[in-house]
């Protein structure tokens, strides 16, 4: 399998889950601004929408969209419970959460990554949008250690990546005590530190 990724982008969630699986995989960095991969390939021929992540399976099939890729990878886990069994209500809860993360929380960060300088008002609006969505996560984490319950799942990898963007856009996560503690706890997983190190987001000391 090969993951097409951009450092620190939402593709980091799939990178974390690939590490959780423990099987070998390849990585290829994408420059989404110029539509080329690090090997010089035209990325629009790999993923027509031009964004990451894209996962190339050994069959040659390409899968895009975070919720689809994360469930595909989670279903391949041979140990642990990265995704609940398909067809159960627990699996529906995962899909509910992945859709919330993708279409609500992830997209709430959009204005910060628009490439435009935000005015004070635009920044305040964008921050209010993020805060509105994080409140649901904060309330969820007040009840249980991970988004689906007692165990880390693919939803936690995605939530970690998106919530952690707060630190890059200047939103103080200590205003959400459960989220703040959760981010530190998830970042401490070997799969997360390894992926962040490989993407150049943390140094050797933090990854050790
Ligand atoms: N609906 C897509 C959204 C993916 C997405 O927003 N990818 C961003 C990075 S997090 C991207 O590649 N944006 C283009 C860019 O950064 O130039 C999914 O869930 O996979």
**Average pLDDT of the chain, as a whole number:** 97
CATH number, position 160? 1.20.1050.10
Residue 21 and residue 47 in one domain: yes
Does 97 lie in the same domain as 41? Answer: no
**Dist CA 78 CA 50 (whole Å):** 32
User: Are residue 113 and residue 72 in the same domain, yes or no?
Assistant: no
149 and 171 part of one domain: yes
Domain count, the chain: 2
Same domain, 138 and 203: no
> pLDDT for 137-164, tens place per residue?
999 999 999 999 999 999 999 999 999 9
Pocket test for ligand 1, best of 28, 51, 113, 165 (most atoms within 8 A of CB): 51
Domain membership of residue 72 as a residue range: 2-80+193-207
The rounded distance, in Å, linking the Cα atoms of 173 and 104 is: 18
Closest Cα to atom 12 of ligand 1: 51
Q: How far is residue 22's CA from residue 148's CA, in Å, rounded to a whole number?
A: 22
- Reduced to 3 states, what is the DSSP secondary structure of residue 199? coil
What Cα–Cα distance (Å) separates residue 134 from each residue in 54, 130, 164?
Answer: 26, 6, 11
The answer to whether residues 10 and 42 belong to one domain is yes
The closest-lying atom of ligand 1 relative to the alpha carbon of residue 9 is: 10
Whether residue 208 is predicted with pLDDT greater than 80 in this model: the reply is no
Span 160-182, mean pLDDT?
A: 97
Distances (CA, A) of 173 to 9, 82, 176, 183: 19, 25, 6, 9
Provide the CATH number for the domain around residue 60: 3.40.30.10
Backbone angles phi, psi at 172, to 5 degrees: -80, 115
Residues 37 and 128 in one domain: no
Choose the residue to mutate in 3, 8, 9, 33 for probing ligand 1, maximizing ligand atoms within 8 Å of C-beta. 9
Looking at the structure, tell me whether residues 110 and 60 fall in a common domain: no
Kindly state whether residues 94 and 173 are assigned to the same domain: yes
61 and 145 in a single domain? The answer is no
Reported as a single tens digit per residue, the pLDDT across 98-129 is: 999 999 999 999 999 999 999 999 999 999 99
Is the per-residue pLDDT at 79 higher than 80?
A: no
**Predicted model pTM:** 0.97
- Evaluate if residue 203 carries a pLDDT over 90: yes
pLDDT tens-digit readout, 43-59? 999 999 999 999 999 99
Count of CB atoms situated within 10 Å of the CB of 51: 17
112 shares a domain with 64: no
Whether residues 39 and 122 fall in one domain: no
């Amino acid at each position: 399998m090969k993951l097409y990724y951009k450092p620190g982008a939402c593709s980091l969630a799939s990178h974390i889950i690939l590490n959780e699986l423990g099987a070998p995989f390849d990585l290829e960095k994408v420059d989404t601004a110029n539509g080329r991969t690090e090997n010089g390939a035209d990325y629009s021929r790999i993923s027509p929408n031009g964004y990451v992540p894209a996962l190339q399976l050994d069959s040659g099939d390409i899968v895009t969209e975070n919720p689809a890729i994360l469930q595909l990878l989670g279903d391949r886990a041979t140990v642990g419970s990265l995704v609940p069994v398909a067809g159960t209500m627990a699996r529906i809860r995962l899909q509910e959460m992945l859709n919330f993360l993708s279409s609500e929380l992830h997209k709430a960060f959009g204005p910060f990554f628009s490439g435009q300088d935000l005015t004070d008002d635009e920044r305040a609006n964008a921050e209010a949008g993020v805060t509105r969505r994080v409140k649901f996560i904060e309330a969820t984490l007040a009840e249980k250690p991970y988004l689906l319950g007692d165990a880390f799942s693919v939803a936690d990898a995605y939530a970690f990546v998106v919530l952690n963007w707060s630190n890059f856009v200047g939103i103080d996560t200590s205003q959400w005590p459960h989220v703040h503690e959760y981010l530190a706890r998830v970042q401490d997983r070997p799969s997360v530190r390894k992926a962040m190190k490989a993407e150049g987001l943390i140094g050797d000391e933090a990854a050790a």
